[in-house]
Amino acid sequence: MSDCIFCKIIKGEIPSKKVYEDDCVYAFHDINPQAAVHILIVPKTHIESAADITAENSMIVGRVFEAAAKIAKELGLENGFRIVTNVGKYGCQSVKHIHFHLLGGEQLTEKMS
């Protein structure tokens, strides 16, 4: 999508601090980190949110989690981490291109909302 900020980041039209890329997934540091380590893992295909995952595109979710495991190892998150995806207004999704927050590098709180 031409006006999507994450599509522009994936294409290199907007700079990002890349940590991982393959044919399906692009991952980079969040500009406003909510934890010591805060990475955004973004499928290269423009899908609006987790509410739009179907039998046809659900393979991207597996690819995101494969990437997450690799990134977590590379960044030394052996004590654990959290993966979150926000959906829509109530989920506080601000960028309408599905993405997964990988949070870690410190003890996270039990509260998830």
- For the chain, the first-to-last Cα distance in angstroms comes to 30
- Compare residues 41 and 72 and give the one whose CB is closer to ligand AMP: 41
- Compare residues 78 and 101 and give the one whose CB is closer to ligand AMP: 101
Distance of closest approach, residue 99 Cβ to ligand AMP, in angstroms: 6
Distance of closest approach, residue 107 Cβ to ligand AMP, in angstroms: 20
Distance of closest approach, residue 88 Cβ to ligand AMP, in angstroms: 10
- Compare residues 4 and 24 and give the one whose CB is closer to ligand AMP: 4
Tell me the C-alpha to C-alpha distance, in Å, between residue 31 and each of 1, 15, 43, 80.
Answer: 21, 11, 18, 22
101 is catalytic: no
Q: 4 near 97, Cβ under 8 Å?
A: yes
* Residue 101 φ/ψ, nearest 5 degrees: -85, 125
Query: Which contiguous run of DSSP H or E holds residue 74?
Result: helix 59-74
**Which pair of structure tokens corresponds to residue 72?**
């977590």
Residues at the interface with ligand AMP (CB under 6 A): 5, 14, 16, 30-32, 40, 86, 92-95
Identify the active-site residue in 46, 97, 99, 101: 99
